[in-house]
Amino acid sequence: MSIKERIKELVKEAELYRSQSLLNQSKEKYLELLKLAESDESTSKNKKLINDIKRRIKSVEGEINEIEEADKKSPELSEDVQNLISSLFSFSQNQATAAIEGAVALAKFGQYDKAVKELERLVKEGPIPLQAAINLLRCHLSLASPEVALNQYKRWESREELGKGDLKYLQKFLDDHFKKKGIDIQLIEAGELSSGGKAVEEKSDDLIDLSSIGIQFPEGKFKGKMWEFDVSFQSGNTVSIIIPLVKKDMAEIFKKGLRLPNIQCTSPIAIFNGSGVVVQNSNITTGPKRGSFNVDIRIDGK
């Protein structure tokens, strides 16, 4: 790989991390880029390139400092408060589904470690392990990194904690996510998981796992254009999207009760149109994505 190709690759990785509010990882990539550019004879004298990299590092550091200052005013939640969140935001009458909703609620409030532990337990002990596993992967992809999600999948595969049918479903889920993000990660061929093991969990006809939604704002400065958002979590027909601090002006448009008449829903099996309403908009005050905004949208028919 040439030096120019490597520089482009690092810039792409750094910006991807930054767009997902993974600022420390973004800074690390930019520092790696700066070291590479300053050490290579063909780029070390390119002052414009060096200054641009330093400017980006300074900008990311500014965002990190802003979040850390806000975090000082919002201490980590106590164990009792975390348990309260988990119980208050479990709405399903089905006990198994309610447990998963409670774990997802913790993730939305920035309690990443607690959510991961609970979802890992539900994968091993819960009656609907596939649903718990999907939400655990969503948690890693939204609040950690693609590598963490991939390592989680590989652990399930090596330890045979899930049936082959479930693994096949999860493999396609990850493959679709990586392909969409332009991440060059190759999982095993789906054909290798074509037989044996537990059957894939049955899903109701009206419940489809969404990977992303496109929203056309009905008013405001972003009116008209279709904006695409990754689905961070999903519970029934309610999806969650995370908007980074750098897009605060966009996040503030999602007022509770806002009707969104034109939503394009993308799933691994189909793309369809719908509408929806904002049911919650909260600021993530702790965890890897503190400073970002979590927006819950209930999707309904067109």
Domain chopping of the chain, boundaries: 3-72, 79-193, 212-300
Beta carbons within 8 Å of 128's beta carbon, 6+ residues apart? 96, 97, 100, 122, 201
pLDDT given for residue 288 in this prediction: 65
pLDDT given for residue 88 in this prediction: 37
pLDDT given for residue 90 in this prediction: 40
d(C-alpha 143, C-alpha 25), whole Å = 12
Reading the block at residue 22, the tokens are: 């993974």
Reading the block at residue 190, the tokens are: 């789906």
Quick: pLDDT tens for 143-170.
Answer: 777 888 888 998 898 887 898 889 988 9
Reading the block at residue 224, the tokens are: 């008209």
Reading the block at residue 277, the tokens are: 């309403």
Stated length of the chain: 302
Quick: pLDDT tens for 93-122.
Answer: 466 677 888 888 887 777 778 888 899 999
Q: Is the overall model pTM greater than 0.75, yes or no?
A: no
pLDDT given for residue 245 in this prediction: 85
d(C-alpha 147, C-alpha 129), whole Å = 21
Confidence of residue 50 (pLDDT cuts 50, 70, 90): very high
Reading the block at residue 61, the tokens are: 């550091």
Q: In CATH, what class is 212-300?
A: mainly beta
* Burial class of residue 35 in the structure, from the number of CB atoms within 10 Å of its CB (0-12 exposed, 13-18 middle, 19+ buried): exposed
